[in-house]
Amino acid sequence: MSALVADTLTLLRRELIRYRRDRAYWIGQIVFPLAIVGFIGFGLDAVVALPSGTRYVEHLATGVLALLVGSGAVGGGFSLIEDRESGFLRALLIAPVSRTSIVLGKLVARMLASLVLVGVLVGILAAFTPVRIAHAGALVLAVGGITAIFVGMGVALAARLRRLESFRLIAALVTVPLYLFSGIFYPLSTLPAPTRWISYANPLTYGADLLRYGLLDVHEIGVATSCGMLIVLTAAAVGLAITAFDRGMRT
Amino acid sequence: MRGLVKRYGEREALCGLDLLVPRGSFFGLLGPNGAGKTTTIGVLTTLVQPTAGTARLFGWDVQADRGLVRAAVGVVFQEASLDPELTAREQLDLYARLYHIEARRSRVEEILALVGLGADADRPTRQFSGGMKRRLEIGRGLLHRPRVLFLDEPTLGLDVAARARIWEHLRALHAAGDTTIFLTTHSMEEADALCEQLAIVDGGRVVAAGAPDALKAALGGDVVRIALERPDSARERLARVEGVREVAQEPGTAFRVTVQDGPRRLAGLIECVRSCGVLEVTLHRPSLEHVFLHHTGARFEARDA
């Protein structure tokens, strides 16, 4: 058990070194959401009125953060394929390290990177939108939960695929519908009923709603429901990732 | 290893491989591309699950006792297995932590000095040359003082100087202690220069095994090639010379004479065919290449055809 924790921390350290050095990643992840909020958010803000009374730019800003955390986390799978292509993974697999540590190292590193990213973006957005930290606990759970769910899906996918191109394609095929049906761009209450039901089956819906609660103090789904769903889905995603990885590495 | 079989779909990479590697030896697995060398290392290092057969390392089963085996082996892969973004020191530190090595820092510095990368320790390895990467991988393989070091084609694609340097490291390592070194190669020169014991594999099977000198001697001696103006009855005359085992005529008027103790018989051989007009004489001492081709040559040609 203690070896599991120690090895996870060692691998977490390696991932964090990589994140710290990856300047392009940080620039992209910070500029992209600001550009969306700036051009689309403020543009539509003047013509769209939301039933809840929330300004559209606030809705979109928080939604884009959820999108960013999710799409970034799928990259956890991406980095696994990179590790395979560089050969690094092979050296890791013959070391006396449990497969679980390898997955957990990636997951926790991505959670920390997501939290830092959201923190920086909230700081910037706070300067020109009403976005601020209203409920820190809910915010952390939302970011952590979305990250875990998408890392889980990414790793499960990456464990089965050998090529970067196939991963990109299939990951997009799986995740884009999740983004579209999650209330990121429009509140659920403005959607037609069948679409809304699809959204309720979408894990990202709960993460995005809780994130909005954490930043704007508004929500469409009960806070307790969202928290519960995220905790259950996080556990399921981590389990899925570990099993899929373990199975995928046997040759 | 007993009766190892590994199937990848229809293809059989190993078909009943038997091998015994003495503890503490410098062992070479020699074979053409696709003979099953890398798969063998995969099985021995727990990365590849055999379809059938068993492999034991110091009495541990490579499947049942994976944890023990992993802690006892170091591996240098054929292809790079480094994180390109991490520096040399960071990579070694990472593995020192994963192998739970005591006195981590000093061991990392020791290894950096051993493989001569002290000056480049803080550069990310994506900037390294092929030789530097290979040295770092060897360093990583040795970090936890493994009881067996596996090297899969350790000098493939390196220039002569880098190769000589790696040979030197390996010789020093073998001389220094009781680490068993197991390397695969398709370079006869490398096998001859380094290994005490060899096994030649082809088509997923061991086709010959033993010390390099014994393998060479088993071929039956030296080969003298004599080209003549008029072959006449040269064949019969050559066969009567003492020590001659076999005389084969090449297309044309040249003969290949297999003879024991070639250098001493050379004068006698030339003397007996003097009247046939000797054009050219060459003496070939058996090299591992002959051994290799003798055991794998036919299959080689069949595959290329």
Q: What is the 3-state secondary structure (H, E, C) of B205-242?
A: EEEEEECHHHHHHCCCCEEEEEEECCCCCHHHHHHHCC
Residue B85 pLDDT greater than 80, yes or no? yes
pLDDT of residue A1: 63
Domain count, chain A: 1
Q: Which helix (H) or strand (E) holds B52?
A: strand B52-54
Residue B303 pLDDT greater than 60, yes or no? no
pLDDT of residue A55: 85
Query: Lowest-pLDDT range, B79-83, B88-92, B142-146, B201-205?
Result: B201-205
Of the candidates B82, B180, B193, the residue with the CA atom closest to the CA atom of residue B130: B82
Which residues neighbour B251 within 8 Å (Cβ) at sequence distance 6 or greater? none
Domain of A101 in residue numbering reads as 3-248
pLDDT of residue B1: 62
Residue B304 pLDDT greater than 60, yes or no? no
Any CB–CB contact under 8 A between B11 and chain A?
Answer: no
- With an 8 Å Cβ cutoff, are A90 and B48 in contact? no
Burial class of B26 by CB neighbour count within 10 A (0 to 12, 13 to 18, 19+): buried
Q: Considering just the CA atoms, what is the radius of gyration of chain A in Å?
A: 18
Residue B103 pLDDT greater than 70, yes or no? yes
Model pLDDT for residues B201-245, shown as the tens digit of each residue = 888 888 888 888 888 877 777 888 888 888 878 888 888 888 888
pTM for this model (two decimals):
0.82
To probe the interface with A, which of B94, B122, B149 has the most A CB atoms within 10 Å? B94
- With an 8 Å Cβ cutoff, are B140 and A95 in contact? no
Q: Give me the interface pTM, i.e. the ipTM.
A: 0.86
Mean pLDDT of A37-49: 83
Mean pLDDT of A62-78: 89
To probe the interface with A, which of B85, B86, B102 has the most A CB atoms within 10 Å? B85
Q: Which residue in B48, B81, B99 is closest to A96 by CB distance?
A: B99
Read off the pLDDT band of B305 (50, 70, 90).
Answer: very low
Mean pLDDT of A209-222: 90
Read off the pLDDT band of A206 (50, 70, 90).
Answer: very high
Residue B187 pLDDT greater than 70, yes or no? yes
**B window 202-241, beta carbon within 8 A of A:** none
Rounded to the nearest angstrom, the minimum Cα separation between B293 and chain A is: 32
Residues forming a β-bridge with B2: B54
Chain B positions in Cβ-Cβ contact with residue A162 (cut-off 8 Å): none
Model pLDDT for residues B146-168, shown as the tens digit of each residue = 999 999 988 887 888 888 888 88
Model pLDDT for residues A226-236, shown as the tens digit of each residue = 999 999 999 99
Q: Which residue in A18, A87, A95 is closest to B77 by CB distance?
A: A87
Model pLDDT for residues A126-145, shown as the tens digit of each residue = 888 888 898 999 999 999 99
Helices (H), chain B: 37-44, 66-72, 88-98, 104-114, 130-142, 160-176, 188-194, 212-217, 234-240, 262-272, 288-304
pLDDT of residue A64: 92
To probe the interface with B, which of A84, A86, A247 has the most B CB atoms within 10 Å? A86
pLDDT of residue B200: 87
Q: Quick one: closest CA in B to A88, which residue? A: B81
Chain A positions in Cβ-Cβ contact with residue B150 (cut-off 8 Å): none
Residue B267 pLDDT greater than 60, yes or no? yes
pLDDT of residue A236: 95
Any CB–CB contact under 8 A between B154 and chain A?
Answer: no
Mean pLDDT of B278-299: 77
Rounded to the nearest angstrom, the minimum Cα separation between A93 and chain B is: 7
pLDDT of residue B300: 43
Read off the pLDDT band of B301 (50, 70, 90).
Answer: very low
Mean pLDDT of A54-78: 88
